[in-house]
Structures are given as structure tokens and as C-alpha cells.
Amino acid sequence: MSILLVEDSPIDARMIGTYLNEWGLEFITVESGTAAWDLLQRPDGPRLVLLDWVLPGIDGIELCRRIRTLGSNGTYIYAVMLTAKDKKQDLLTAMAAGADDYLSKPVDPSELRARVLAGKRIIDLQQSLRFAATHDFLTQILNRAEILAALKRELSRSKRDGKPAAIILADVDHFKQINDSLGHAAGDEVLKEIARRLKSELRPYDVVGRYGGEEFLLILPNCNLVTAIRRADEIRFLVSRDVILTPLAKIPVTMSMGITVTHSGFDTMEDLLQQADVALYRAKQNGRNCVQGLEETEGMHRV
């Protein structure tokens, strides 16, 4: 986790930076509240910030207020105010603005380390809770609610930018037979390994989640139907190439996949999911272990 140090005094920035280096902590230093605000708004921005009260551009108090507006997306930023102001009213002003902690200058290194460690524990806990709320417990990929939220965001982006995105609904073939013959523990191992293989084959900006039971939903941005069919078949091959090892048996697995794309004329998320489901049903009808794509004008395309 990277720490953001917002300090316009070169002497103070060098001193605090020396402490952070000694403690093995990664950090970024900026000299103004404006530069700090630009960094903190990024999706991958710092989650722990040490900031001075008096800063060029946006001051520390206003920066704290703005930081608290970022919490609506579920991400918390822990803010520690470092300042020469040491009156009780100053402390109350900083805390009312949204600071989590307050440390007077000159900074005592042991007190600073205690504040940083406390903030780090809170951020780590918040991230763990967020992961648990958005990911499937068994497979450790996105859960149904979160993958549907991702699909909704991608649909909006696709409409805004005029670029297609592919939706792949994938189902493990004959999964019930695995559970019936080897038990649910073996079935769980199969689902975990399939999820791992699916994730390993995706681009950094692709998304995969557990849609329900043995069904997985994949979202491939900037991907037309022809490319999506090719990519889906590569993923299908990767999943089925090697047997899955479980304590009870070596289990061969295959997947059927149905595909549609956001520019096919299906304007809602529900329409997209329905069309992907139709394509998946056709893939199963055609012998399973295959990829089937839906085109608006050409009907079904099978691989």
C-alpha cells in the first residue's frame, strides 16, 4: 500500500520521508493540495495520506473535506493531519473536516509510526471487508451482484464510446454428475480450478465472475463478435486441456459458452444476458464443449 505525503516544506518532507524509508514503507510526495487531489481521485490512488494544513492550491482542511466525498464508491482513504497548529480548536476543526488523526509538528517519529500503523490496519481491514462483499467465497472471483454491476458499467461505457463489448456466459458441462459421483467437495475443487484458469487467460481489463452454480460470466471490453468467439474458444480449450486433480480423482472437464455483444441491438443488461443464455442453450444442444455466438442479422454462429 502506497502512502501519499503532502508537504510543501522540503525540510519536513525530507525528514518524514526518511522515517518512512526506514520503516520500509512505500510513499509518494507532492507539494500541493491540488496535486494530491489529482492523485487521490484515481481508482488506484493512495489510500493513506499524511498532509500538512497549510498547502499551496487546496489547503489541508479543504482536501480532507474532498477526500470524504470519495467514500461513496466504497473506498476509504485514511487521512492524518500533520501541522504546527496545536490548539484544541485546531484539532476539532481538522477532525470535523474529515481527518482521521492529528499530529503536531515537529513530528515525533514514534508517534508518527503509531499513526501510520493504525491507519494501515484500518485500510487493510476495509479492503478485506470489501473483497469479501464483492467476491465469491469459494472461487475468489467476483460474485453475482458484482459481476452484474460490472456488466452495467461496461454497457454504459460501450454506449458512450460506441465500442462493442462481448458477454460470455459459460457453463461447466455435466457438473451435476461430478457432484453426484464424487461429492460436493470434489465439485468445489473443480469450480475453484476452473475459476483460476478463467482468470489466468483474461486481459487485465477483462472481468470474470460466478454467475450462479456452475455458470460463469465474462466481460471482454472492446471486443467484437468475431474476436470474442476466437477468445472464448481459446479459453474453452485452456479449461479443458488438462484434467483437474482432486483428492478423490482426476476429473476431465469441458465448458459450453454462449456469446453476444453490446452493439447487437440489445439495449438493456437483461436483453444481453437473455441472448447470451440463448446462445449457451444452443451450444448445449449442439453437443456441448463448444462456443456459440449470437449475431443480430446472421443468426447463430458455432465454433
pLDDT beyond 90 at 268 = no
Q: Are residues 129 and 174 in the same domain?
A: no
The residue ranking higher by pLDDT, 73 or 259, is 259
Place 251 in a pLDDT band, splitting at 50, 70 and 90. very high
Give the three-class secondary structure for 255. strand
CATH number of the domain residue 127 falls in: 3.40.50.2300
Q: Are residues 193 and 230 in the same domain?
A: yes
Instruction: Show which of 91, 107, 134 is a domain's final residue.
Output: 134
Q: Are residues 70 and 206 in the same domain?
A: no
User: Does the residue 139 lie in any domain?
Assistant: no
Render pLDDT for 54-103 as a digit per residue (tens, 0 to 9): 999 999 999 999 999 886 566 789 999 998 887 889 889 999 999 999 99
The pLDDT, as a whole number, for residue 264 is 55
The catalytic residue among 31, 189, 193, 214 is 214
The pLDDT, as a whole number, for residue 85 is 85
Q: Average the pLDDT over 94-121 and give the result.
A: 94
Render pLDDT for 154-174 as a digit per residue (tens, 0 to 9): 998 888 888 899 999 999 999
Q: Are residues 41 and 130 in the same domain?
A: yes
User: Does the residue 13 lie in any domain?
Assistant: yes
Q: Average the pLDDT over 259-272 and give the result.
A: 80
Q: Are residues 160 and 65 in the same domain?
A: no
Residue range of the domain that includes 26: 3-134
Global pTM? Answer: 0.75
Q: Average the pLDDT over 2-22 and give the result.
A: 94
214 is catalytic: yes
Residue 250, H or E segment? strand 250-251
Instruction: Show which of 134, 158, 173 is a domain's final residue.
Output: 134
User: Does the residue 106 lie in any domain?
Assistant: yes
Instruction: Show which of 81, 111, 134 is a domain's final residue.
Output: 134
The pLDDT, as a whole number, for residue 299 is 44
Number of structural domains, the chain?
2
Torsion of CA 265, 268, 273, 275, to 10 degrees: -30
Nearest to 228 by CA among 178, 196, 275, 183: 275
The pLDDT, as a whole number, for residue 74 is 64
Q: Are residues 18 and 92 in the same domain?
A: yes
Q: Are residues 106 and 128 in the same domain?
A: yes
Place 265 in a pLDDT band, splitting at 50, 70 and 90. low
Would you give the DSSP letter of residue 55?
-
Q: Are residues 189 and 259 in the same domain?
A: yes
Q: Are residues 128 and 152 in the same domain?
A: no
Q: Are residues 48 and 114 in the same domain?
A: yes
Say if CB 171 and CB 256 are below 8 A apart: yes
Cell of 143: 460474485
Kindly report the three-state secondary structure assignment for every residue of the chain.
Answer: CCEEEECCCHHHHHHHHHHHHHCCCCEEEECCHHHHHHHHCCCCCCCEEEEECCCCCCCHHHHHHHHHHHHHHCCCCEEEEEECCCCHHHHHHHHHHCCCEEEECCCCHHHHHHHHHHHHHHHHHHHHHHHHHHECCCCCCECHHHHHHHHHHHHHHHHHHCCCEEEEEEEECCHHHHHHHHCHHHHHHHHHHHHHHHHHCCCCCCEEEEEECCEEEEEEECCCHHHHHHHHHHHHHHHHHCCEECCCCEECCCEEEEEEECCCCCCCHHHHHHHHHHHHHHHHHCCCCCEEEEECCCEEEEC
Nearest to 208 by CA among 283, 162, 262, 154: 154
pLDDT beyond 60 at 104 = yes
Q: Which of 70-79, 80-89, 124-133, 237-246 is modeled with the greatest confidence? A: 237-246
pLDDT beyond 80 at 263 = no
CATH number of the domain residue 152 falls in: 3.30.70.270
Q: Are residues 154 and 292 in the same domain?
A: yes
